[in-house]
Amino acid sequence: MLQKRVIVCLDVRDGKTTKGVRFEGNVDIGDPVEMARACYEQGVDELVFYDITASAEGRGIMIEVVRRVAEQIFIPFCVGGGIATTDDMRAVLLAGAEKVSVNSQAVRNPRIIREGARRFGNQAIVLGMDALADRRMPSGYRVVINGGRVQTDLDALEWAREAERLGAGEIVVNSIDADGTRDGYELEVTRVIATGVGVPVVASGGAGVPGHLVEVFTRGAADAALVASMVHYGEYTVDDIKKVVADAGIPVRRQGARPEAGPV
Amino acid sequence: MKTLVVDYQAGNLRSVETALRHIGASHEITDDPVRLARAERIIFPGVGDAAHAMRLLAERGIDRVMRERHAAGIPILGICLGCQIVLEATEEGGAACLGLVPGTARRFPSECGKVPHMGWNTVRSREDHWLFRGVPAESSFYFVHSYYPAPESEEDAIAWCDYGIEFAAAVERGSLVATQFHPEKSGEAGLQLLRTFVEAG
């Protein structure tokens, strides 16, 4: 039986894992390659690296991070952030990533999804989507871009379907309402998208305890779930989370290289 | 003994290469049919469109070399698309394939679930099969595919996976083994399988 995936997300700036802290900007919390390795040993199913570097110099550092990760972990991983052209996609895929994720850039230029899918296959192209609850929209959710700062006219479900039609092989639904709250995923938007498209949907934003993943895999109908701060500070290991999910009767892979491995 | 990895521009070979380097396997990536014709061990990966892949293989004359190496009894490991185009045919674009294993690659019916079948799924291998030596029973492997291998003879299946229907997750015919999953992306279980293949024979 196909298992629900637990995916760890790492934000990377200038080659360091970083975390946005309210009123303080970003704080570096570690080496992404080391953190990726720890997650791998704990049995994470997949990893996502978001490059939040703005400079061209930082882009080069990110490619080097991707290359080092690929040499040490033997599971799929995705790279997002600042991907604007199919040449940007090619650079991270050649460095060893399986997938690239596009978000605001795809809203501005949807053709990048089609061109990327033609060139690298649908399985390599992930649409990241930030959704905000809005009762005026047909699905109840509006697509926002630039990290939630800019509203678009797009309905979340319609955009997800359009991205699938253009060739996206997977969709990450990040709830701006839930993001950073640690109160749980936004189950409704996850369910609306996950049951409305034919490609896998990854829930993102709001995970605080392992039970939140149980909810989003059942009531939210998600195929996979992103976690970040839950594991970044060693509060939970990936295996702690998976144990709770497995105990709830949800199929999940329980075989890390060293499932008992310590904190990320 | 060096393993030659067939590069016919169908997909990114970097993950196969890093995995082989990690397990310390001597290897070389090549698209040269002359080199491949002398290969003593071959890994045959691939992602993407089957008809396109078959065209690329034919253009380089690698299709003929693969048939010849298989007939010569050289160990070959097909991966993903390389597990489908070793069959006789595929429903993807109706392409004729290499014909090393009797059978067809079939598309998952939509009742099975979302297509592609993407993620980790449990693989049940034939008891005591050499390729799965050292791999814990019921291990999970990473899959990304819309078509699945349907060998004509159940004898040619060496592992099975359930995605709404039970399909062959790995096949074997003579010196050829092929996995529909990606051992190079399946964590320690996958690395163990690769190690077993490159050390076999």
A-chain residues near B112 (CB < 8 A): none
Sequence-distant (6+) residues with CB within 8 A of A234 are A262, A263, A264
Distance of CA B31 to the CA centre of its chain: 17
- Which of A2, A40, A71 is the closest to B163 by Cβ? A2
Please state the domain count of chain A: 1
pLDDT, tens only, A200-255: 999 999 999 999 999 999 999 999 999 999 998 889 999 999 999 999 999 999 97
What residue type is assigned to position A18 of the chain? T
What residue type is A92 in one-letter code? V
- Interchain contact, A71 vs B21, CB within 8 Å: yes
Which residues 79-138 in chain A show a CB within 8 A of chain B?
93-96, 98, 121-123
pLDDT at B120: 98
Are A224 and A46 a contacting pair, CB within 8 Å? yes
Predicted confidence (pLDDT) at residue A54 exceeds the cutoff of 80: no
A61-102 confidence digits (pLDDT tens): 899 999 999 999 999 999 999 899 999 999 999 999 999 999
**pLDDT of A233:** 86
Q: What is the DSSP letter of A50?
A: E
CA distance A218 to A221: 5
**What is the C-alpha separation between B56 and B63, in angstroms, rounded?**
9
φ, ψ for residue B169, nearest 5 deg: -85, -15
Nearest CA in chain A to B139: A255
The answer for residues whose C-beta is within 8 angstroms of residue A51's C-beta and 6 or more apart is A12, A13, A58, A59, A62, A79, A80, A81, A82
Give the pLDDT of residue B47.
80
Q: What is the mean pLDDT of residues B29-41?
A: 96
Q: Which residues of B carry out catalysis? A: 80, 182, 184
Q: What is the CA radius of gyration of chain B?
A: 15
B38 touches chain A (CB under 8 A): no
Total length of chain B:
201
Average pLDDT over residues A132-136: 97
Q: What is the mean pLDDT of residues A130-154?
A: 96
Residue B89 in this model has a pLDDT that exceeds 60: yes
User: Is the omega angle on the peptide bond into residue B109 within 30 degrees of 0, that is, cis?
Assistant: no
Burial state string for A71-109 with b = 16 or more CB within 10 A and e = fewer than 16: bebbbbbbbbbbbeebebbebbbebbbbbbbbbbbbbee
- Residues of A tagged active-site: 11, 130
Instruction: Give the domain CATH number at A136.
Output: 3.20.20.70
In a domain? residue A260: no
Structural domain for A149, as ranges: 5-247
* Closest chain A CA to residue B164: A1
pLDDT: which is higher, B103 or A118: B103
Region of A223 on the Ramachandran plot (φ > 0 left; ψ -120 to 50 alpha; else beta): alpha
Query: Is there a contact between B118 and A198 if contact means CB atoms under 8 Å apart?
Result: no
Mutate to test the interface with A, among B15, B112, B193 (most CBs of A within 10 A): B15
Q: Identify the pLDDT of residue A261.
A: 58
Q: Which residue has the tokens 């991707």?
A: A66
What is the model's pLDDT at position B148?
97
Per-residue pLDDT band for A18 (boundaries 50, 70, 90) equals confident
**Is the CB of residue A189 less than 8 Å from the CB of residue A156?**
yes
> Given this model, what pLDDT does residue B75 score?
98
Ordered strands of the B89-90 beta sheet: B89-90, B103-107, B147-151
ipTM above 0.85, yes or no: yes
- Is A151 contained in some domain? yes
Instruction: Enumerate the residues of chain A whose CB falls inside 8 A of the CB of residue B21.
Output: 71
User: In this predicted structure, what is the pLDDT of residue A260?
Assistant: 54
Q: Is residue A254 part of a domain?
A: no
Cβ atoms of residues A51 and A82 within 8 Å: yes
Which residue bears the tokens 């590069």?
B7
Angular region, B99: left φ>0, alpha ψ -120 to 50, beta rest: left
Let me know if residue A261 belongs to a domain.
no
pLDDT computed for residue A24 by the predictor: 64
Burial annotation B24-61 (CB, 10 A radius, 16+ → b, else e): ebebebbebbeebeebebbbbbbbbbbbbbbebbeebe
- Give the integer Cα–Cα distance in Å for A108 and A105: 5
pLDDT surpassing 80 at residue A176:
yes
B82 by DSSP, 3-state: which? helix
Q: How many CA atoms lie within 13 A of A36 on its CB side?
A: 31
The answer to whether position A255 is within a domain reads no
A147 at interface of B, judged by CB pairs closer than 8 A = no
To the nearest 10 degrees (0 to 180), the angle between helices A32-41 and A56-72 is: 30
* pLDDT at residue B80, as a whole number: 95
Task: List CB contacts (< 8 A) between A70 and chain B.
Answer: 14-15, 18
Q: With bands split at pLDDT 50, 70 and 90, how would you rate the model's confidence at B104? A: very high
Q: How many CB atoms lie within 10 A of CB B110?
A: 10
Contact A96 B115 (CB under 8 A): no
Q: Which of A4-13, A23-32, A119-128 has the lowest mean pLDDT?
A: A23-32
Q: How far apart are CA B105 and CA B119, in angstroms?
A: 19
Partner-chain residue, chosen from B18, B139, B191, that has the shortest CB–CB distance to A70? B18
In this predicted structure, the answer to whether residue B61 has a pLDDT above a threshold of 90 is yes
Q: Per-residue pLDDT tens for A249-264?
A: 999 999 765 555 556 6
Read off the pLDDT of each residue in B157-183 and give the average, rounded to a whole number: 98
Residue in A1, A39, A74 to test binding to B, most B beta-carbons within 10 Å? A74
- What percent of chain A shows pLDDT beyond 70? 95
Query: In chain A, which residues have their Cβ closer than 8 Å to the Cβ of B144?
Result: 123
pLDDT at A263: 60
User: What pLDDT, on the 0 to 100 scale, is given for residue B85?
Assistant: 96
Contacts A193 to B, Cβ<8 Å = none
Q: Please, what are the domains in chain B?
A: 3-199 (3.40.50.880)
Place of tokens 């604007």: A84
Strand A170-175, strand A46-51: pairing = unpaired
Please check whether residue A262 lies inside any domain of the structure: no
- Asked if residue A183 belongs to a domain, the reply is yes
